[in-house]
């Protein structure tokens, strides 16, 4: 999909995301969106598409680091619970509790009993959140292995993206089928009426982002809230220019 096309299609969605955020703030709604999927699928870009025009004091992105040893010994969901939203907040999880059913299972970081227990607990855990009134959305971003290979190669060659190429990614490319199996087991166990999964094709990332954002907006109820009137009288004097006494600004970036 061409950038121009994308921008044209995304523009009204951005406005609707802002409307959604105002609605959440005004009505105290709590929104949680999980972004899961293949390595390289484009989770980061999708999260940016949702969050870029929103207030960072309202919309939090949660990208947890590897658990500490103490955290590993706790109830599995504990460190995620800490980031669930208060009234009016939107939380986007860049990977989530589903790590256990994906990378941890495939790479052997969790044993079979742990994975099985997770697949049993996740629906019950999510039911509690949903029954409590949290709006929970779960997206899984798919991509063919050919695309994945191309993107991995791009990461290898693009200095801006090289940090994204983790040893786990490299292992993951050899376990494409194991990840597929893990996803199917995950869907089987956790695609529930109260917290369904939505799968989105991210072979074309721009189109994938449009599809995801459109779907998210469609699943929400009517989010229109009349914004408050703002009184914006004319200034009663000439606008002032900056004046600096203690310290001056540094030289501007040079333009030839």
Map the footprint of a copy of itself across residues 120-139, applying CB under 8 A.
120-121, 124-125, 127-129, 131-132, 134
Q: Which of 40, 96, 99, 143 touches a copy of itself by CB under 8 A?
A: 143
Query: Is 108 one of the binding residues for a copy of itself (CB under 8 A)?
Result: no
Query: Is 28 one of the binding residues for a copy of itself (CB under 8 A)?
Result: yes
> What is the closest distance, in whole angstroms, from the C-beta atom of residue 170 to a copy of itself in the complex?
7
* Distance (Å) of CA 112 to CA 100, 162, 225, 229: 10, 33, 48, 57
> What is the closest distance, in whole angstroms, from the C-beta atom of residue 108 to a copy of itself in the complex?
20
Tell which positions 147-186 bind a copy of itself, by CB under 8 A.
Answer: 148-149, 152-153, 156, 159-165, 170, 173-174, 176-177, 180, 184
Q: Give the residue from 79, 13, 93 showing the smallest Cα distance to 52.
A: 13
Locate 208 and state its tokens: 């994938």
Give the count of residues interacting with a copy of itself (CB under 8 A): 113
Coil, helix or strand at residue 91 = strand
Residues 222-251: x where in contact with a copy of itself by CB under 8 A, - otherwise, as a string: -----x--xxx--x---xxxxxxxxxxxxx
Alpha-helix residue ranges (DSSP H) falling in the chain: 3-27, 43-51, 69-72, 78-81, 103-106, 112-131, 145-157, 167-174, 176-190, 205-219
Strand order in the sheet with 197-201: 59-62, 90-94, 31-37, 135-142, 197-201
Query: Is 27 one of the binding residues for a copy of itself (CB under 8 A)?
Result: no
* Distance (Å) of CA 79 to CA 63, 105, 199: 12, 19, 26
Residues 6+ apart with CB under 8 A from 196: 138
The whole-angstrom separation of Cα 59 and Cα 68 is 26
Tell which positions 39-98 bind a copy of itself, by CB under 8 A.
Answer: 44, 48, 52-57, 61, 63-65, 68-71, 73-78, 81-82, 84-88, 94
Residues 197-216: x where in contact with a copy of itself by CB under 8 A, - otherwise, as a string: xxxxx--x--xx-xx--xx-
Query: Is 112 one of the binding residues for a copy of itself (CB under 8 A)?
Result: no
> What is the closest distance, in whole angstroms, from the C-beta atom of residue 209 to a copy of itself in the complex?
9
> What is the closest distance, in whole angstroms, from the C-beta atom of residue 102 to a copy of itself in the complex?
15
Query: Is 111 one of the binding residues for a copy of itself (CB under 8 A)?
Result: no
Query: Is 193 one of the binding residues for a copy of itself (CB under 8 A)?
Result: no
Degrees (nearest 5) of the Cα angle 237, 243, 246? 145
> What is the closest distance, in whole angstroms, from the C-beta atom of residue 221 to a copy of itself in the complex?
19
The whole-angstrom separation of Cα 20 and Cα 233 is 28
């Amino acid at each position: 999909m061409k950038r121009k096309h994308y921008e044209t299609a995304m523009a009204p969605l951005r406005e609707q995301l802002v409307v959604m955020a105002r609605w959440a703030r005004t009505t105290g709604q709590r929104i949680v969106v999980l972004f899961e999927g293949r390595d390289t699928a484009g989770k980061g870009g999708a999260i940016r598409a949702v969050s870029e025009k929103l207030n960072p004091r309202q919309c939090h992105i949660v990208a947890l680091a590897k658990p500490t040893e103490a955290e590993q010994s706790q109830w599995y969901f504990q460190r995620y619970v800490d980031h669930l939203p208060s009234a009016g907040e939107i939380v986007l999880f860049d990977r989530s509790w589903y790590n256990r059913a994906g990378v941890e299972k495939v790479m052997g970081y969790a044993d079979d009993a742990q994975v099985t227990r997770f697949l049993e607990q996740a629906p019950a855990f999510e039911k509690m959140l949903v029954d409590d009134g949290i709006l929970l959305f779960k997206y899984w971003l798919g991509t063919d292995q050919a695309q994945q290979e191309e993107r991995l190669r791009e990461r290898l060659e693009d200095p801006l993206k090289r940090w994204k190429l983790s040893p786990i990614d490299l292992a993951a490319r050899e376990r494409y089928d194991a990840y597929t199996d893990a996803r199917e087991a995950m869907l089987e166990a956790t695609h529930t009426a109260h917290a369904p999964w939505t799968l989105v094709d991210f072979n074309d990332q721009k189109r994938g982002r449009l599809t995801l954002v459109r779907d998210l907006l469609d699943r929400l109820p009517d989010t229109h809230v009349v914004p408050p009137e703002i009184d914006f009288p004319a200034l009663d004097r000439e606008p002032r220019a900056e004046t600096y006494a203690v310290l001056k600004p540094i030289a501007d970036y040079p333009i030839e």
